[in-house]
Structure 1
Amino acid sequence: MMTQQPCIRIRGLKKSFGNRTILNGIDLDIPAGASTVIIGGSGNGKSLMLRCILGLIEPDEGIIEIDGEDILRASTKRRDALLRRIGMLFQNAALFDSMSVMENILFGLKAKRHGRTALPHRTELEQEAFHLLAQVGLGPNVAPLNPAELSGGMQKRVGLARALAGQPDILFFDEPTTGLDPIMSAVIDGLISDCVTQRGSTALTITHDMTSARRIGDHAAMLYGGKIIWQGPASDLMNSGNPIVDQFTHGRREGPITTTMTDQPAIGG
């Protein structure tokens, strides 16, 4: 029986800053059309791993494959084509403060089309932007507002609308529920789940929120000490049988995780 090729395959991924090693041989498979969550303490390299996949930071060693193609060794043109398949929702939504909600989404629409096809008329792009806002539960009255006029939850939803602008089949979420109340966290989690179940997207989320991780995740993994130390069904997160995972997921002060590890500066999250 043949095993389905993972959408993203990572092997031996390493990255150091000076004499400090953050990623020390990451091995991870991200299944296609499913939701994978990565947990781990601050400073363990979760966000850094995403940045390496996105090409924002060059790793020291390793393999990163998308559908079997190593993006680290592909030509610039081919790498760009593969990375255009990824939509990203950053932790703070990363909206442009000087642009309205509409302009932020139009930026996403134009960026994904750059160099591929002629841009449609602005009116057509605006209609597409309104459709994206509707997909994340926001009305057209939000379009002329600036990000500073939005609540944290609304900013996250606008960020997700912009991430969806290029119709990506791979979506990355960096701490999507941080700073949100429980109800808004559930809203964001529902939108992430919809991306997988309704759009067929492959989702990779890094989070500290165990409720969110179990709610949106099909698969889960924990990053600790520069390596993936546990992988399994997200439903097993609270009963993993791994003492490090159990201490983290239950928030216990005593256990194998020391404050020396969790109190490190958060280089790469």
Structure 2
Amino acid sequence: MSAALPKIRIRGLCKSFGEKRVLDGIDLDVEAGTSTVVIGGSGSGKSVLLRCILGLIQPDAGTIEIDGVDVLRQPRREQERQREKIGMLFQNAALFDSLLVWENVAFGLLARSGRGGPRIRRSDARERAGEVLAQVGLDPSVGDLAPSELSGGMQKRVGLARAIAARPEILFFDEPTTGLDPIMGAVIDGLIVECVRGLGSTAIAITHDMPSARRIGDRAAMLYRGQLVWQGPAASLLDSGNAMVDQFTHGRREGPIGMELRR
């Protein structure tokens, strides 16, 4: 009996900007229903990796398969349909100031309806927004507020509600705890885990926050100079046995990363 295909399978992914090679032959499997966290320093290629999977950046080489289909070789319309499987929690929530909270949460549902996707009335979209706001611990009445009336933690919850509103098969989290105090960061991580498990989604998160990485990840991978230098259980991040990972996760000044940065 053959093994099940990973939900996301990446092979030989490369991307350069001018002479700078940001991704240099990335191989990564993300099994269905699991969460993978990608760690690494600023400029290591984490965000570029996510944007390539999302289709926002065209890689120079390699394959990105979702459910066994190489999305890079699909027609544009099929690529758009694949993207509809994905929900995204952006760094700093990235809410639209001109829209009410409920409109932010339901934005994807309403946008798809306008592009010929499943039709949804505004009243139904508003009801769905209230449901997912409750899932992330906010009263549905918050939907009538403007984003500017919310605290940073509440904005992050609204961003998470928007990400899960369409019940996506895949969820991406871009630095989900940035700007939050440790307690609120732990709250957001707990909500992420609950939402991912509740939906049965497959998740990829990028983060600098080691407690967050261990809370939300089943697996972990570290990017350094465009390459994955380690992959393993997220629970092993603090005792990986890899010198680069150990230096990064413990915040040590001295080590293989520091030596290379001084050249």
Q: TM-score range by the shorter chain?
A: over 0.9
The answer to which structure, 1 or 2, has the higher relative contact order (CA under 8 A, 6+ apart) is 1
Contact 2:33 2:201 (C-alpha < 8 Å) held by counterparts? yes
Residue 183 of structure 1 is matched in structure 2 by 183
Contact 2:112 2:118 (C-alpha < 8 Å) held by counterparts? no
C-alpha distance in 2 between matches for 1:15 and 1:72:
13
**Cα offset for 1:132?**
1.1
**Cα offset for 1:98?**
1.4
Gaps of 5+ in 2: none
Gaps of 5+ in 1: 263-269
Residue 225 of structure 1 is matched in structure 2 by 225
Once the two structures are superposed, what CA deviation does each residue of 1:1-58 show, in whole Å capped at 9, x if it has no partner?
5322111011111111111111111111111101111100000010111001101111
SS of the aligned residue for 2:141 comes to: helix
Residue 267 of structure 1 is matched in structure 2 by none
SS of the aligned residue for 1:116 comes to: coil
Equivalent runs, 1:107-122 vs 2, <5 Å: 107-113=107-113, 114-120=115-121, 122=122
Q: If the length of structure 1 is used for normalisation, what is the TM-score?
A: 0.93
Equivalent runs, 1:124-139 vs 2, <5 Å: 124-139=124-139
Residue 265 of structure 1 is matched in structure 2 by none
Contact 1:39 1:208 (C-alpha < 8 Å) held by counterparts? yes
Residue 100 of structure 2 is matched in structure 1 by 100
SS of the aligned residue for 1:249 comes to: helix
C-alpha distance in 1 between matches for 2:186 and 2:149:
22
Residue 54 of structure 1 is matched in structure 2 by 54
Q: If the length of structure 2 is used for normalisation, what is the TM-score?
A: 0.95
> In 2 relative to 1, CA 70–59 (structure 1 residues): closer, same or farther, beyond 3 Å?
same
C-alpha distance in 1 between matches for 2:225 and 2:261:
8
Contact 2:52 2:58 (C-alpha < 8 Å) held by counterparts? yes
Provide the aligned C-alpha RMSD in A: 1.5
Contact 1:109 1:162 (C-alpha < 8 Å) held by counterparts? no
* Equivalences, count: 261
C-alpha distance in 2 between matches for 1:58 and 1:261:
28
SS of the aligned residue for 1:205 comes to: strand
**Cα offset for 1:260?**
6.4
Residue 3 of structure 1 is matched in structure 2 by 3
